[in-house]
Structure 1
Amino acid sequence: MATKMDANPRGIPKSPFVERVEDYVSDAEPADVVLRKFQETISKYKFMEVNMLQRRKVLEEKIPEIEKTIAMVDFLVEKQGSDEPVYTDYELNDTLYAKAKVEASGTVYLWLGANVMLEYTFEEAKDLLSSKCETAKTSLRNTLEDLEFLRDQITTMEVNTARVYNWDVKQRRLAREQASN
């Protein structure tokens, strides 16, 4: 029996719970076909879960980097008014660093990705970084929510699979007993 499938806010379909196996198994769709469909659905959910885990990992690495960059912009804003020079070590390569004197210019350069770097005023940079940080945090919350939802759906489909399989075993046993009588 086909039912309308609901979905979470980001479109991941909700798995149905099989209360009555008879509603899912029929002559037109025997138990082995239903089990195959359930296994296919579980595989799709697990594939989505792997993608969500990767997304979570990327976001968990990205958010602290953005926050560190915001802190650096704040530091530069703080030091902008003083005549005191700021010295820092910056990375040239994995194991190679150089000393640099940072002079207040009122601007910073930010890597945007794809080998693109743009110059921003401190205020523009902070606004952009704050916006990106908030977007990343929202995306992380959504990803964690989706992961929890997916785990629930996988569990539901595994229970459904077990119920249909056990029902099928029972039906075959009854059929054998009736055939032997």
Structure 2
Amino acid sequence: MLRFQFGVGAEDVVSGVRFEFSRNTGLLRKIYATDVSEEEVEKIVKWELEDIIKERKKKKLDIPEDPFGEFFLSKGRTWLLASVVAENFKLVPHPLLAFRLWRRFRDEIRYSLVVSDEAEPFIRDGKSIFSKFVLDLDPHIRANDEVLILNEKHQLIAIGKAVLSAKEIREFKRGVAAKNRCGFDINL
């Protein structure tokens, strides 16, 4: 699935996974990584845990004394890698998979949009990516593809879903190029 969606070499970013299937349909719904490295724990897992705690506080839900232990260690050091869309079986990358893809394809801009520094704070905050701020992109992007959003230094700043194709993004100077799925408020 990774190779089909993100190209040759994408399958190398995952070695150990655990699958979660829907109770109602029996179809694949979530993919968890079982091979989370210490670097990924420090950069991604702990950052995502902070967001989980913030959301639980907003909803006035109980927060465990040791969230790291309860949400990561007690689940066998597994972390959500991707969700699977029911209609088309495409993978929706979560921050861990996005980080791995970015690290794997750092020297190229495969399935990525490079945006101007002017738009970076808004994109990190979760706002949509507008065509006029896109400086460079992978020419193979099609509408509805999952894309990585990079700043001018090619650092990962968000995960998005393309609204337009690469050709349209280049030609249009107005309108949304990609919807933001998750902005990274940390530097990777």
TM-score range, shorter chain: under 0.3
- Is the strand fraction higher in 1 or 2? 2
What is the TM-score of this pair, normalised by structure 1?
0.21
What is the TM-score of this pair, normalised by structure 2?
0.21
- Is the helix fraction higher in 1 or 2? 1
Q: Which has the higher contact order (CA 8 A, sep 6+)?
A: 1
